[in-house]
Amino acid sequence: MNVAFWQDRRVFVTGATGLLGGWLTKRLYESGASLVCLVHSREPTGRMEQGTSVRGGVEDLDLLQRILGQYEIDTVFHVAAQAIVGSATRDPVPTFETNVRGTWNVLEACRRSPKVRAVVVASSDKAYGDHEVLPYTEDMPLQARQPYEVSKSCADLIAQAYAHSYDLPVAITRCGNFYGGGDMNWNRVVPGTIRSVVCGERPVIRSDGHFVRDYFYIEDAAAAYMLLAERLACNPELKGQAFNFSNENRTSVLDLVNLILRKMDSDLLPVVQNQPSKEIRSQYLSAGLARRILGWAPMFTLEEGLERTIAWYRQALRQ
């Protein structure tokens, strides 16, 4: 990452109080960027510590246009999303409103703004859907079926459409399952397992434990987003391109939980509920394109990321 690139650069981040948004804004702020952050009206005021915060949602196109114009935004990170798979399945409309309509609103506002030089849109490995051959590579079709997955496929394709139809300088990230300090959704396996151990309770695995995923440490994710924005601003040929980011260490849920237990010196045994699930059993990514084209590499192994995450939660849960 080129710190000089970000000095006083005018940056707009949607979803700034989420897990990824929080770490991304922290890293941008420390790099000297001039930040404007979109904060949902339901978020508490104390969550946003860096830069200027503006209350509202990505569903409000007029607000997005005013922000980009008023603050003369140069670089946009669109990471706002309804990211809970179960919530999307139970109630798909709000997920489509935020993840699909929100994405075209952000891109339309960027299209109308002459100052914007780079836009990074968050897609997901879930956008690929179910494939017989893995790992996912960027040339595979997006064939999602479930509501959350479909919302990410749609956002991904809309970003490609704006790049190719309107020459908008937008690139797309496809990452695995984020983990790291600050994720308070205890239904997710990493924070849920850590909190259970801290509380002296057996961690719960809702599936049979054999679902395989990419687990991507959040500080690596924030750095990857910034690197992509840098490369995009300097190389217009990257517009419309999607990049997978992964440490390429596929792991089953059961193996991940057992690794956390070992890291925490716990002799607790997980409760495997073996509940039926409509989720895809195996999803993992090749990051070869990002390595070759962007010169990207992760900073942390899975074990190093988990150690930093466990330390964060032990500190936070003591308070």
Hey, which residues are catalytic here? 148
Q: 3-state SS of 248-286?
A: CCCEEHHHHHHHHHHHCCCCCCCEECCCCCCCCCECCEC
Burial of residue 225 (CB within 10 Å: 0-12, 13-18, 19+) is buried
CB under 8 Å to 132, separation ≥6 — which residues?
none
**Element holding 119 (H helix, E strand):** strand 118-122
Distance CA 56, CA 45 (A): 12
Number of other CB atoms surrounding residue 8 within 10 Å: 9
Closest by CA to 272, choosing from 253, 294, 288, 292, is 253
State how far the Cα of 299 lies from the Cα of 165, in Å rounded to an integer. Answer: 35
Strands 251-252 and 212-213: antiparallel
Three-state DSSP class for residue 236 = helix
Contact 31, 6 (CB under 8 A): yes
| Angle at which helices 189-198 and 302-318 cross, to 10° | 50
